[in-house]
Amino acid sequence: MLSLTLSILTLVSLGAIENLGISTAMPIVERQFGHVDLYGWVFAAYSLSSLFGGSFFGAFADRHSLRRSLGVAVSVFILGLVLGGVSTSMTTLVGARVVQGFGYGGFAVLPYMMISRYFEGAQKAKMLAAMASAWIVPSLFIPPLAGIVAESLSWRLVFLGVVPIALVSGLLADQALGNVEGGLKGFLLERTSLRSILARSLSGLGSALSVGTVIFSISIGNASVKYLLLSVGVIVFLASISKLLLSAELHRLKDTVLILLARGLSSFAFFGIEAFLPFVLFTVKDMPIAEAGLILTASSFSWTAGSWLQARAFRYVSFRVRVGLGLGIFLVSLIALWLNFYDASLPGKFSVVVWFVAGAGMGVVYPSITLAGLGSAREGSDGEISSLLQIFDTGGFAISTGVIGAVIAQGTGSIPGVMRIDRYASNYEVAIAVAFTAALASILFVSSGRYSFLKP
């Protein structure tokens, strides 16, 4: 069990280092390449590709082994990092992120499958909290280090610097997984067919392409084409997830759908706003990039605290109450964040404090929704529900970065100097209002379910 725990935490730490480093360096990349309209696509392309990667590598692990699936996923991830580090434009960087995201999807979904199969009840809650804790050490030094490297040397070194870390993490996880591979492989091969694997992979690909179509439709000027693409995207997405929902053995379909909607909307609200926070603090509040990156450190710390709090409250506080309280804290934080950009006299450091509080709220919400999702599936359907959680999680984030990126870039192309900065601030205020609406809808969805299958 110890080796399994270490392998999970190793993979989470690698994802944390990559996420914190590149998110911090991106304002410097935008300053060199321009094209703020593609800023959100750097994150959206990564997330969408991870949707397909998660479905493919989760199915690949079912047919072969976790160890083999992990090896291929980490290799693809490293290739994407190298391509990102040598990119010559924002467009080629988006392409590199597609490759990188596909690999990341592999070692993002596997830990949830391991937790679902090998940990019981409260142990699952503690493991999810431990996964959040794996962000603590990277969040301490990665954002300021990445900021210093990007400003003083080159943002390319942030991408390339993750490569040796990925190699070491992959090797350590490979050795640890060797201790459990035999039992897992034998267990899965009895009930996994190539047809099922192909269906799951295509569902992931369909979800990624459909969400990408929805995001792309936002930037289309022609109203007829816009709504046509939007309709096609929504229809394909619903068809893709319907296959996974129907193939999974669930305790109550309606409650599972409500959980998934809450997952997607929460991801939309939190990660979409956070993805652009370093950029707007760097651009609007004139904070040094190393200081702007502290916003990621603050939320990582408080998220971890919130995760451990929900782990302790798991047996005593209902799912609806935990999620309601967490999202309530987050909504208050969004109001304070909006005021920070509405009032130009407020310092950017105020946002760091505000986002620290927001992270605590979401630290309670996220693992609570994950546990409820895993609990909604009967034995044998943990792979399908893990894929669905991944789809709604990354899909919500991808759509959010696309929507918020479009909102922030709106009307800034031909505006010079100070006027452009003012437009960024006002546009970001609109983005915060959109996130507030999504978080409020998430509360409403959660409060509508019964969740009789959840045992305190």
Asked whether the beta carbons of 434 and 404 are under 8 A apart, the reply is: yes
Q: What is the pLDDT of residues 70-98, one digit of tens each?
A: 888 889 999 999 999 999 999 999 999 99
Backbone angles phi, psi at 377, to 5 degrees: -95, 140
Lowest mean pLDDT among 7-11, 17-21, 403-407: 7-11
Q: In CATH, what number does 2-447 get? A: 1.20.1250.20
Domain limits of the chain?
2-447
Q: What is the pLDDT of residues 133-192, one digit of tens each?
A: 777 788 888 888 998 998 888 999 999 999 998 888 888 777 777 766 554 444 444 445
Q: Which residue has the higher pLDDT, 248 or 438?
A: 438
Question: Does position 308 have pLDDT exceeding 90, yes or no?
Answer: no
Lowest mean pLDDT among 199-203, 212-216, 245-249: 199-203
Which of 48-52, 354-358, 424-428 tops mean pLDDT? 354-358
Q: What is the pLDDT of residue 182?
A: 54
Q: Which two tokens mark 51?
A: 């949707």
Q: What is the mean pLDDT of residues 433-446?
A: 93
